[in-house]
């Protein structure tokens, strides 16, 4: 299985048609598209530590959720950490594929993974301006906001969550991993009484009672990292001979 062939297959499973217009994803770095893929490192982010680990471990490919290159590089001269990363990747013949918003939106992706782990049923898509990447579904039974938050921590591994109560129980829950502040109205319109995201923003949280919806922040990393296991399973189904490892790229500290 070459780099190019694997990307072709993943493109079929996670099509570019699902990417948001503003996004930048795909085959981010490819020193040799004909290189045989034997070892793949899966991570949420392509940080310097991830690149170092891949180089030291002899990995052929890194697959990430967040794009390795999001804004266009104007020079590859070592003056930025992204350029430095690109230089090291090319020197070590390591390719990078990033799937970002299309991995959010695709069936079984980021938000479906989280919905399934929370036990939601009757799951539907929601979103604004044609970007329907969120999910909304129903809990098996009504829960207090406090109990729902405990469930979120259990599922995501988040050390804590930040919640704003609208004074109602949690039952119909909207989910959007990562940055979800722009989709609060869409979540409400989808019938949610509770909205879970990575980050929603202070002023939105303060206004939760007026919005008539419980708002829960569980952290950008924690609401998206679980999709790495989904990607690992996808690779096993494509080629069981490919060795995979998931890198825990979170470097945030809590005191």
pLDDT band at 116 (very low <50, low <70, confident <90, very high): very high
pLDDT at res. 193: 98
Residue 42 pLDDT: 98
The answer to whether 92 and 35 are in contact (CB under 8 A) is no
pLDDT tens digits along 159-204: 999 999 999 999 999 999 999 999 999 999 999 999 999 999 999 9
| DSSP output for the chain | -BHHHHHHHHHHHS-GGGS-TT---EEEE-S-TTSB--EEEEESS--HHHHHHHHHHT-SEEEESS-S--SPPS--SSSSHHHHHHHHHHHTT-EEEE-HHHHHHSTTSHHHHHHHHTT-EEEEEEEETTEEEEEEEEEEEEE-HHHHHHHHHHHH--S--EEE--SS-EEEEEEEEEE-GGGHHHHHHTT-SEEEEEE--HHHHHTHHHHTSEEEE--HHHHHTTHHHHHHHHHHHH-TTSEEEEE--------
Q: What is the pLDDT of residues 40-90, one digit of tens each?
A: 999 999 999 999 999 999 999 999 999 999 987 888 887 888 999 999 999
Mean pLDDT, rounded, for 220-245: 97
Q: What confidence score (pLDDT) does residue 20 get? A: 93
Give domain limits for the chain: 3-101, 107-223
Q: Say whether domain 107-223 belongs to CATH 3.40.50.12780.
A: no
pLDDT of residue 125: 97
* Shared fold status for 3-101 and 107-223: yes
Q: Which residues partner with 195 through β-bridges? A: 174, 215
pLDDT at residue 138 tops 90: yes
Rounded to two decimals, the pTM is: 0.94
Q: Which CATH superfamily is domain 3-101 in?
A: NIF3 (NGG1p interacting factor 3)-like (3.40.1390.30)
Per the prediction, the chain carries an average pLDDT of: 96
- Lookup: tokens for 240: 């069981």
Mean of the pLDDT values across residues 121-127?
97
Q: State yes or no: pLDDT of 106 exceeds 90.
A: yes
Q: How far, in Å, CA of 16 to CA of 24, rounded?
A: 10
Q: For residue 126, name the pLDDT band (cuts at 50, 70, 90).
A: very high
**Do 212 and 191 meet the contact criterion of CB atoms below 8 Å apart?**
no
Question: For residues 249 and 221, what is the distance between their CA atoms, to the nearest angstrom?
Answer: 9
Say if residues 156 and 223 touch (Cβ distance below 8 Å).
yes
The reported pLDDT for the residue numbered 186 is 97
């Amino acid at each position: 299985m070459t780099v190019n062939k694997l990307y072709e297959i993943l493109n079929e499973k996670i099509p570019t048609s699902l990417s948001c217009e503003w996004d930048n994803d795909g085959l981010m770095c490819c020193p040799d598209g004909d290189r045989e893929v034997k070892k793949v490192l899966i991570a949420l982010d392509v940080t310097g530590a991830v690149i170092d680990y891949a180089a030291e471990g002899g990995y052929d490919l890194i697959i990430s959720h967040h794009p390795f290159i999001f804004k266009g590089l104007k020079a590859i001269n070592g003056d930025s950490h992204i350029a430095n990363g690109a230089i090291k990747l090319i020197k070590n013949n390591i390719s990078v594929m990033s799937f970002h918003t299309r991995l959010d939106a695709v069936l079984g992706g980021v938000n479906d993974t989280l919905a399934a782990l929370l036990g939601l049923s009757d799951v539907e898509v929601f979103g604004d301006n044609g970007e329907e990447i969120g999910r909304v579904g129903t809990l098996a039974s009504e829960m207090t906001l406090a109990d729902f938050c405990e469930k979120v921590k259990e599922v995501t591994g988040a050390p804590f969550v930040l919640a704003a109560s609208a004074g109602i129980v949690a039952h119909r829950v909207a989910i959007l991993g990562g940055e979800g502040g722009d989709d609060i109205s869409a979540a409400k319109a989808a019938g949610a009484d509770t909205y879970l995201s990575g980050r929603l923003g202070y002023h939105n949280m303060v206004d939760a009672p007026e919005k008539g919806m419980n708002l829960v922040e569980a952290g950008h990393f924690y609401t998206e990292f679980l999709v790495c296991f989904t990607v690992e399973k996808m690779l096993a189904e494509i080629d069981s001979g490919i060795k995979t490892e998931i890198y825990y790229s979170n470097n945030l500290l809590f005191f």
